[in-house]
């Protein structure tokens, strides 16, 4: 791994964490104005629209002729599956439970990457990874006034996290054949088609198709969904694909924990939510864990 690419990959990880970390503000803005399906649909509308504009302006190009399309579409399908399962899981479980389960994605990635990609982590990496995951879970549990558990929701959310973990590993598996933008284009296209069809079927069944554009009466909804689609799907998917191409899967996936910690910080800074000592301590431990995974990576048993 070239040193310059490694530095750029960790910079991409930092930007990824910030973009995704602030996504909860966008979701929080949209929730009172539209249904979950409407939010997901319009997120992918903006993401796919941005893809079309980028291609028309020749900013980035795609060339997928003669390449193994099956693996590429499978990679995108697991990301879309993650979003669908997470949405369904949240019907039965609280957001705090969802966040806790999502925090174990790096552990899932470590196991899957070890089996299929033969990526092995050093003892130091494993220790720092568990520090980051444990700190994130501790921060959420301490801050939860009431954490209720529903096994149906937990099962679905576990499948959601597994889908995200598989997506992370597949991104690394297809990196040699596809550019980050090509991976992003397919992901955006699959999400666009999937949620558009779901909206049409649900709208016809419920007689609510005429409500499709109702949320656009609110400027804040347009801004929020544009951010969620363009920055949190289009850009973040490219950043993750670039990270997966230039660092081990576990190193890349653990930045998802950083984004969750940033969500807590954003809540304090932007929404004026209370800041407690455990927020500072746990956030510091999460960051230490991420840095530690990167530093310990120099002693990996199986270097990339």
pLDDT one-digit tens code per residue, 53-82: 999 998 888 888 888 889 999 999 999 999
Handedness of CA 91, 95, 101, 106 (dihedral sign): positive
Residue 84 lies in a domain: yes
Nearest to 43 by CA among 234, 237, 228, 224: 228
pLDDT at 1 over 60: no
Which pLDDT score, from 0 to 100, does residue 25 have? 87
Q: Domain residues for 256?
A: 3-299
Residue 132 lies in a domain: yes
Residue 288 lies in a domain: yes
Residue 241 CA to residue 262 CA, distance in Å, equals: 21
Q: What's the number of domains the chain is made of?
A: 1
In sequence order, which residues have a C-beta less than 8 Å from that of residue 4 and are 6 or more positions away?
A: none
Residue 304 lies in a domain: no
Which pLDDT score, from 0 to 100, does residue 304 have? 41
Handedness of CA 157, 162, 167, 172 (dihedral sign): positive
Instruction: Determine which helix (DSSP H) or strand (DSSP E) holds 206, and give its type and residue range.
Output: helix 180-206
pLDDT one-digit tens code per residue, 118-168: 888 788 889 999 999 999 888 888 876 656 678 898 899 999 999 999 999
């Amino acid at each position: 791994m070239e040193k310059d690419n490694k530095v750029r990959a960790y910079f991409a990880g930092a930007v990824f964490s910030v973009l995704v970390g602030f996504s909860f503000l966008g979701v929080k803005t949209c929730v009172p104005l539209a249904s979950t399906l409407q939010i997901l649909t319009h997120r992918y509308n903006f993401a796919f629209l941005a893809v079309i504009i980028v291609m028309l302006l020749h900013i980035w190009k795609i060339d997928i002729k003669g390449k193994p399309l099956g693996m590429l579409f499978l990679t995108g399908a697991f990301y879309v599956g993650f979003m669908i399962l997470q949405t369904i899981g949240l019907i039965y479980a609280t957001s705090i439970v969802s966040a806790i389960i999502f925090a174990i994605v790096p552990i899932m990635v470590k196991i899957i990457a070890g089996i299929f990609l033969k990526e092995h982590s050093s003892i130091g990496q494993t220790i720092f990874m568990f520090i980051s995951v444990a700190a994130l879970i501790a921060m959420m549990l301490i801050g939860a006034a009431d954490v209720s558990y529903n096994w149906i929701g937990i099962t679905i959310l576990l499948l959601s996290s597994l889908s995200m973990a598989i997506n992370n590993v597949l991104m690394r598996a297809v990196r040699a054949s596809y550019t980050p933008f090509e991976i992003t284009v397919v992901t955006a296209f699959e999400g666009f088609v999937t949620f558009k069809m779901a909206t049409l079927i649900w709208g016809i069944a419920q007689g609510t198709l005429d409500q499709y554009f109702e949320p656009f009466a609110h400027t804040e909804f347009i801004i929020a969904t544009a951010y969620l689609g363009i920055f949190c799907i289009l850009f973040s998917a490219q950043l993750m694909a670039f990270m997966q191409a230039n660092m081990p899967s576990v190193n890349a996936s653990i930045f998802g924990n950083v984004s969750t910690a940033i969500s807590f910080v954003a809540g304090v800074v932007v929404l004026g939510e209370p800041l407690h000592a455990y927020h500072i301590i746990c956030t510091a431990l999460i960051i230490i864990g991420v840095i530690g995974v990167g530093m310990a990576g120099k002693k990996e048993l199986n270097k990339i």
